[in-house]
Amino acid sequence: MKKIKPLSWQSIRDEVFRRISQREWLPGEPIPNETELAVEFGCARATVNRALRELANEGLLDRKRKGGSKVSLHAVRKATLDIPVTRQEIEQRGAVYRHVLLEHQVRAPTAEIRGKMPENKALDLLFLRSLHLADEAPFLYEERWINTALVPEALALDLNAISANEWLVNNAVFSRMDLKMFAANATARQAEHLQTPKETALLMMERTTWQGDEFVTSVKLSYAPGYILEASM
């Protein structure tokens, strides 16, 4: 077994990646354990561990105690999706950001939203509708529910000055986020706000953030036609 130069965990990661890519190590098959690789590469086991851990995080390896490390049978690749603050996303495109608060009221949640809450709590929630503009053109329309039990400060805010989106990102505590993306034909209301013909295909996103098992905020976003959501890995 030829001894190879690398010292850094990155080089080891790359070398292991190469062996998997070039099918020296086949899907489903075990690879040498950390100690053996450390000997082969002439480095500490911790360094090998770091390299293999990264590859496992990317889904290329399955690792189990005692079971050892195996090349994943079907590499479920994971792409990373950035969730920026809408203002920043617009400004990054070189456009001027503005947002309009269309509706702001405390009301009983819809059945859909109530389903996310514990049975016993029948609190009223803060409901918002707003529009984000890029250079005065409609960019994103949002309908949002905020759990005022968890974020009472939201009630006192001037949401014309700062968008709920931005304020929540900077102030709300949350530990988990669910995210759903789908397409929908524009309803009359969406079409009106986004200044597009009715039935135009819109990219929609629903995001719910949670603090423990209670939801903090849930928002339904409608992107203006032509919006492209990008991700990479």
Partner DNA sequence: CAGTGGTCTAGACCACCAG
Partner DNA sequence: TGGTGGTCTAGACCACTGC
Window contacting a copy of itself (CB under 8 A); options: 3-11, 83-91, 105-113, 132-140: 83-91
67 binds, among a copy of itself, DNA, none (CB under 5 to 8 A by kind): DNA
Site string for a copy of itself, 200-219 (x = CB under 8 A): xxxxx---------------
Distance in angstroms (rounded) separating the CA atoms of residues 231 and 157 = 33
Give CA–CA dist 17/34, Å, rounded: 15
Residue 49 binds a copy of itself (CB under 8 A): no
By CB under 8 A, tell whether 183 contacts a copy of itself. Answer: yes
User: Which partner in DNA, a copy of itself, none is near 96 (CB below 5 to 8 A by kind)?
Assistant: none
Residue 179 binds which of a copy of itself, DNA, none (CB < 5-8 A, kind-dependent)? a copy of itself
In this structure, are strands 137-146 and 68-71 parallel, antiparallel, or unpaired? Answer: unpaired
Kindly tell me the burial class for residue 97, based on how many C-beta atoms sit within 10 Å of its own C-beta (0-12, 13-18, 19 or more): buried
- 187's tokens: 């309803």
Interface with a copy of itself includes 149 (CB under 8 A)?
no
CB 190 within 8 A of CB 227: no
- Antiparallel, parallel or unpaired: β 201-211 and 176-185: antiparallel
Out of 3, 80, 111, 136, the residue judged to bind a copy of itself by CB under 8 A: 80
Which residue in the set 4, 7, 155, 173 belongs to the binding site for DNA (CB under 7 A)?
7
Where does this chain touch DNA (CB under 7 A) — which range of 36-44, 114-122, 123-131, 150-158? 36-44
**Total residues at interface with DNA (CB under 7 A):** 25
Q: Does 46 bind DNA (CB under 7 A)?
A: yes
Task: Give me the least distance between CB of 38 and DNA, in Å please.
Answer: 7
Task: Output the DSSP codes for 94-144.
Answer: T--EEEEEEEEEEEPPPHHHHTTS-TT----EEEEEEEEEETTEEEEEEEE
From a copy of itself, DNA, none, interface partner of 120 (C-beta below 5 to 8 A by class) = none
Number of CB atoms found within 10 A of residue 96's CB: 10
What is the distance of C-alpha 96 from the center of its chain?
25
Question: Residue 49 interacts with DNA (CB under 7 A)?
Answer: yes
**CA atoms of 166 and 188, how far apart (whole Å):** 27
Q: Which does 35 bind (CB under 5 to 8 A by kind): a copy of itself, DNA, none?
A: DNA
Q: What residues line the site for DNA (CB under 7 A)?
A: 7-10, 33-35, 42-47, 49-50, 52-53, 56, 63-69
